[in-house]
Chain A
C-alpha cells in the first residue's frame, strides 16, 4: 500500500510542477466558462426551449466531448512514457514494488488531477443556485458521469503510455482509442441490424451523459465504466510486465 501511496504522491506533485498542467487548467477553465456563459444566455432567450442549464453543460454540447478527448491523452501521456524514455523505470521496477502498485499509484494521481480540473465548475452550479432553484440530484449525477467517463479515458491513456517511449506517440494512441470508444455510440445511427443497434446504443457515451444530466442513474452504465476502466488498468500492468520479455 505504501508503494501505491508513494507513487501517487510523487505523480500528483509532478503534475503541479509541470507547466503543462497549468496550460491545461487554464484552457479548460476558459473554454468551459465560455460554454457555460453561452448556455446561460441561450436559455435566457425567450425563444429557447428552456430547461436546467447544467443539464446542457454536462455533455449537452460537442465542446464537452472535445475537451475530454483532448484532456485524456494530455494528462496521461507522460505517466509511463517518460519513465520508459529516461530509464527511471529501471530503478522504479527494481524497488520492492509490483507493476500493479505502480499502475494504481499513477492512475489515481491522474484521476485526482482530473477531478481537480473540474472542481472550479462547481462555481457554475453555485451561480445558478444564487439566482434560481437548482435540482441537486441531476447535478450530482452529472458529476458522477464526469467521473465515470474520465476514469475510463484516463485508464485508456495510461495504457497507451505503457506502450510508447515517446509521449506524443502515446498521446496519439490514446486519442485514437478514445475516438474509437466515443464513436461506438454514434454507430448506433449507422446500422440497421436491431442487435447491433442495441449493442452500440448501450455503449453510447453521449446518451449516457444525457441520461445522467437529467438525473437518471442507470447502474448498467456505471458497471460499464468501472469494468472497462479496470480492464484497461489490467492491460497497462500486463504491458509493463511484457516489456521485460522483449
Chain B
C-alpha cells in the first residue's frame, strides 16, 4: 500500500510535479503513463525516498518516507530507469552486498540470494562479472536487487526499455507474477504494456494527473463513438450514402489507413451495434464485403488526446476538433476494480 498525498517537486523555478495524489492498493499493478518529461521519474524518485518532495508526503504501509525513512524504504524494492550496477563485481557477490545493505545476514541472506537468482533466471551468470553482462541480464540483476529483500511494494521505472522482444516477454511475465503478491507501481511509455499488465492507469502530463482509472473505464470515458472499418469490393456509387442512412450510424468517412478505394470508417452511436445492419445492407445490394472490423480504441488514442495539447499549442496548430478539457477540469476516476 502506497499513498502519495499532494506531492509536488520543484527544481529551481521549474515545477516538475505539481500536486499529485494517488494510492496503490495491495496486489494491484498501477501503471503510470506519460510523455517524456511529464514528471514520472520525479514522482517515482519521491515515492522511493530518493528525492524529498517540495510539498506533500508519501507513506508506505502507513510509514512516512521522510519521518521513518529506514522502515519505509525496507518495504520498497526499486528498479530505477537507468539500472546502474557496480561493473567490477560478480552477480552473486553484488547480491550478497545488497543483502547486507538491507540488513540480511547469514542463512537468511543466502537463502534469499538463491531464491532470487532462480526467480530472475540468473543461474547461468551468477558467477559472471556484471560489466560483461548483456543489457537484458543487467536489467534482471536490477530486478533481482529490487526483490531480494522481499519488499511488499515494488516500484519499477521503465522496466523493459532497451530489451529485445524475447527479453521483454520474459520480464513482463515476471512482473505479472510479482504483481500477484505485491503492490506494484510501474512507469512506462509503452502503451500495450500498460494494457497487458496493469489493473489501473494514471496518465500524467506536465506534472499533473490528467486521467486515471482502469484501462477499460478510461476507454469508455475518453474514447469517442465506436467505429467500424468496412471495405466493399469494387464499390459502386453511393455506398457511403447508404451506409450513412442506416439506423444508429452517425458518420461515414473514407478510411484514412487504406490505399484501396472502397474502404470506409463508419462511426455509430455508442449503444448501437451496426454490424448486422451493414451486413444486411451489403447482402441486399450484392456488395462483396471484404472487411467488417470493429475498431477497438486503444489507450494510445486516449493518451495522445490527453497529452498532445501543448505540442499543438506550441506549433500554433489549430485543431478542428474541440480541444480536450484542461487538466483540472477533467473528472478523475476513482479505483474501479
Residue positions of A touching B, CB distance < 8 A:
2-3, 5-7, 9-10, 13-14, 17-18, 86-98, 244-246
Contact = CB atoms under 8 A, between A and B. Distances in A.
The 8 closest A-B pairs by CB, nearest first: A6-B100, A88-B84, A87-B84, A96-B70, A86-B84, A17-B88, A96-B73, A94-B48
Nearest to A241: B52
A199 B78 CA distance: 51
B76 A94 contact: yes
A246 B42 CA distance: 12
B167 to A, nearest CB: 20
A244 B97 contact: no
B52 A245 contact: yes
A52 B43 CA distance: 65
A168 to B, nearest CB: 19
5 contacts: A6-B101, A13-B88, A87-B82, A95-B101, A96-B70
Contact of A96 (B50, B85, B102): B102
Contacts of B102: 95-96
B86 A95 contact: no
A95 B84 contact: no
Contact of A97 (B45, B48, B101): B101
A94 to B, nearest CB: 5
A225 to B, nearest CB: 30
Interface of B: 11, 45, 48-52, 69-71, 73-74, 76, 78, 80, 82, 84-86, 88-89, 93, 97-98, 100-103, 105, 142, 145
A6 B97 contact: yes
B100 A87 contact: no
B88 A95 contact: no
A96 B103 contact: yes
B86 A244 contact: no
A246 B11 contact: yes
B78 A91 contact: yes
A88 B85 contact: yes
B101 A244 contact: no
B279 to A, nearest CB: 57
Contacts of A3: 100-101, 103
Which among B52, B76, B102 has the highest number of chain A CB atoms within 10 Å?
B102
A7 B97 CA distance: 8
Which among A7, A14, A87 has the highest number of chain B CB atoms within 10 Å?
A87
Given A13-B89, A88-B86, A96-B102, 16 more contacts: A9-B97, A18-B88, A87-B84, A90-B84, A91-B84, A91-B145, A94-B48, A94-B49, A94-B50, A94-B73, A96-B74, A96-B103, A97-B101, A98-B70, A244-B50, A244-B51
A98 B49 CA distance: 12
Contacts of B71: 96
Contacts of A96: 69-71, 73-74, 101-103
Contacts of B74: 96
Which among B49, B51, B86 has the highest number of chain A CB atoms within 10 Å?
B86
A3 B99 CA distance: 10
A89 B80 CA distance: 11
Contacts of A98: 70
Contact of A2 (B85, B86, B100): B100
Contacts of A9: 97, 100
A2 B11 contact: no
A98 B70 CA distance: 8
A242 B53 CA distance: 13
A87 B11 contact: no
Contacts of A95: 73, 98, 101-102
A17 B88 CA distance: 7
A19 to B, nearest CB: 10
A78 to B, nearest CB: 11
